[in-house]
Amino acid sequence: MAAAPVNAQVEVDLYLHVRVLISIILGLAVARLVGGVAGFIQHPGRDRIGLIHLGWVAWALLNVITFWWWEFLLSRVTHWTFALYVFIFLYTSTYFLLSVLLFPDDIIGYKGYDDYLLSRRGWFFGIIATTEALDVVDTLIKGGEHFRSLGIMYPIRILAFIVLCLIATQTRNLKFHAVFVVSGLIYEAIFFVRYFESLS
C-alpha cells in the first residue's frame, strides 16, 4: 500500500493538533457548566436558582456537546492556515466565555441567578449572537455542500436568533426571556436530531 503524500499527512496532523485545542477549551466549558449545576445540588439554599438561568445553562450545554460533535467535520478541510486556526480558537472560546458568564465566581449583590444573568444580558446575549454568526463561517469552512445540506431554514434560524439576542440585550421582561430560552432549547434539539444524528 502506497504511503500517504507528505502534504496530505501534514494536513491530517494539523487537524489532529487543532482538535486537541478544541477539546481542551470545550472540556473546560463543560466542566464549568456541569460543576455549576453540581454546586446547586451541593448547596441548594446558598443562592437563588432561576429557571431562565437554568434554561440557558441547558442551552449552552447542548450547544457545546453538539458543537464538539460536528466539529469532526473539520476533518474535511484539506488546507489549514494560521488564520483558520485562530478563527477556530476564537469561535471555540466563545463557548467557554458563555459558561463562565453563566457560572461566575460569585453572585454577591444580586437577588439570584436570574437577576445576575439579566444584569449581564448585554454581554451574555451579545456573545451568543457572535457565536451564531461565527457558526455560519464555521459551516462554510466545512464546505459549500455541507452548508447547502442544512437547507434554507439554517440561515433563517441564525438571523432570527441573532435578532432575538439583540432584543434580549435591551429588555429585562421575564416573559420574553422565558419564551426565548424555551424556544431556543426546543429548536436546537430539533435541529440537532434532524441534521446531526449521524456524521456519515
Contacts of 62 (CB under 8 A, 6+ apart): 185, 188, 189, 192
Residue-wise pLDDT tens digits, 82-123: 899 899 999 999 999 999 999 999 888 899 999 999 999 999
Residue-wise pLDDT tens digits, 132-160: 999 999 888 888 887 888 888 889 999 99
Which pLDDT band holds residue 6 (cuts at 50, 70, 90)?
very low
Which of 100, 79, 99 shows the shortest CA–CA distance to 18? Answer: 79
Q: What pTM does this model have?
A: 0.86
- The pLDDT score that the predictor gives to residue 11 is 61
Which pLDDT band holds residue 198 (cuts at 50, 70, 90)?
low
Round the CA-based radius of gyration of the chain to a whole number and report it: 19
d(CA 188, CA 192): 6
CB atoms within 10 A of CB 64: 22
- The pLDDT score that the predictor gives to residue 159 is 95
Mean pLDDT score across all residues of the chain: 87
List the domain boundaries for the chain.
6-195
For 44, the 3-state DSSP assignment is coil
